[in-house]
Amino acid sequence: MQEFKSVTEKLSTATKTLFSFEILPPLKGQHFEHIQQAVEPLMTFDPAFVNVTYHQEEFEYKPLPNGLLKKKTVRKRPGTVGIAAALMYRYHANVVPHIICGGFTREETENALIDLHFLGVKNLLAIRGDAQASMKYFQAEPEGHSNAIDLVKQINALNQGQYLDEELLNSTPTDFCIGVAGYPEKHAESPNLQSDLQHLKEKVAAGAGYIVTQMFYDNQKYFDFVKRCRAAGIAVPIIPGLKPISVLSHLQILPQSFHIDLPEALVKDLKKCADNKAVRQLGVEWAIAQSKELIAQNVPVIHYYTMGRSDNVLKIAQAVF
Ligand code: FAD
């Protein structure tokens, strides 16, 4: 049986641009079939790795008959670890579960890392998480991490066999390969590109082996970002992330949620689409053109965000890989 490999190992032995994708756990109450339907067709393209996102619990306020509000905790998309394990053992997929700072104390993070290590998970994407929908700013747990760098440091310490309890004897080191997020168009909260780049450099110095970018629709943004990273001394692989546009409302939602620009040519073409079927097709064509140009520039991998449905990513993979 083929061994699960670290992302960096996969990249270092690759002779061409590799294919990878990200999936979301389905909404609570839905069947694993949703994952199977999205994943199975893409497995024929031998993905280098498959990411599984993590979704923190949210707070909702339900009105009571007496006019007061009741605070309710909901986790809409649980199941990251279960899905990662299922993909490993059903498809032998090289999984990359996401692990976030939000909602975790350091102790809970350590326990989650121990579970993932016992499962045989080799790769993690270490990210902070966004502010909860009911909050304006990201808030760490009292004993949790405020930024992804602290999470990277904790994982890296565990890789050296350093657990939170320093008195632990004969502790086993883990062997996680750590990826982190990077933002070609700057993270929304960062005062400027330079400061964002400095924090990215610190995440790499703390132990991250590679970077996966936020989605972008103009390849020049990625090329410029790679150039800035290299000039700043960031030497690790920088994996471009692409998300094919699939509905007209993405025109507003993507810039608003992810703080990215859409090129004017794409906006004009989207506005000409008669319906969302035409938008989905245009999204596929745009992503194919982006992918071909990225491959021509020898990017290590192209990472596709499926958002749960993969028919469009399948068409792109058929045209490109
Ligand atoms: P950080 O690296 O902590 O950066 C956040 C901000 O703080 C940046 O502006 C940075 O410049 C600044 N900063 C960093 N370090 C410091 C420091 N030491 N001091 C001061 N400022 C600092 N979200 C989820 O909830 N679940 C997911 O599964 C998920 N997957 C993602 C996958 C990818 C590839 C990407 C790009 C994003 C993903 N996100 C996910 C979204 C992510 O959580 C948000 O973008 C979040 O706002 C920032 O995460 P980060 O890891 O980049 O944070």
Q: Which atom of ligand 1 is nearest to the CA of 180?
A: 51
Which pLDDT value is given to residue 2? 55
Q: From the CB of 181, is ligand 1 less than 6 Å away?
A: yes
Which residue, by CA, sits nearest to atom 40 of ligand 1?
Answer: 129
Given ligand 1 and candidates 187, 192, 210, which is best to mutate, with the most ligand atoms within 8 Å of its CB?
A: 187
Task: Ligand 1, residue 179: give the atom nearest the CA.
Answer: 34
Supply the pLDDT for residue 153: 98
CB of 129 shorter than 6 A to ligand 1: yes
Which of 75, 146, 147, 242 has the most ligand 1 atoms within 8 A of CB, as the residue to mutate?
A: 147
Nearest to 224, CA basis, from 209, 238, 210, 206: 238
Residues near 200 by beta carbon (within 8 Å), at least 6 away in sequence:
180, 182, 211, 229, 234
Fold classification of 7-245+280-320 (topology level): TIM Barrel (3.20.20)
106 lines ligand 1 (CB under 6 A): no
Please tell me the distance between residue 169's alpha carbon and the centre of ligand 1 in angstroms: 34
Instruction: Report d(CA 297, CA 284) in Å as an integer.
Output: 20
259 lines ligand 1 (CB under 6 A): no
Q: What is the pLDDT along the chain (321 residues), one digit of tens a residue?
A: 557 999 999 999 999 999 999 999 999 999 999 999 999 999 999 999 999 999 999 888 888 999 998 888 889 999 999 999 999 999 999 999 999 999 999 999 999 999 999 999 999 999 999 988 888 899 999 999 999 999 999 999 999 999 999 899 889 999 999 999 999 999 999 999 999 999 999 999 999 999 999 999 999 999 999 999 999 999 999 999 999 999 999 999 999 999 999 999 999 999 999 999 999 999 999 999 999 999 999 999 999 999 889 999 999 999 999
Whose Cα sits closest to atom 33 in ligand 1? 181
Residue 33 CA, ligand 1 centroid: distance in Å: 30
Q: Following CA atoms 238, 281, 25, 118 in sequence, which dihedral angle do they give, to the nearest 10 degrees?
A: -40
> With a 6 A CB cut-off, is 103 part of the ligand 1 pocket?
no
- Does residue 76 line the site of ligand 1, with CB under 6 A? no
3-state secondary structure the chain: CCCCCCHHHHHHHCCCCEEEEEECCCCCCCCCHHHHHHHHHHHCCCCCCEEECCCCCEEEEEECCCCCEEEEEECCCCCHHHHHHHHHHHHCCCEEEEEECCCCCHHHHHHHHHHHHHHCCCEEEEECCCCCCCCCCCCCCCCCCCCHHHHHHHHHHHHCCCCCCCCCCCCCCCCCEEEEEECCCCCCCCCCHHHHHHHHHHHHHCCCCEEEEEECCCHHHHHHHHHHHHHCCCCCCEEEEECCCCCCCHHHHHHHHHCCCCCHHHHHHHHHCCCHHHHHHHHHHHHHHHHHHHHHCCCCEEEEECCCCCHHHHHHHHHHC
Atom of ligand 1 nearest to the CA of 187: 9
pLDDT attached to residue 58: 87
**Rounded Cα gap, residues 96 and 99, in angstroms:** 9
Question: Residue 230's pLDDT is what?
Answer: 98
* Distance from Cα 168 to the centre of ligand 1, integer Å: 31
CB atoms within 10 A of CB 239: 23
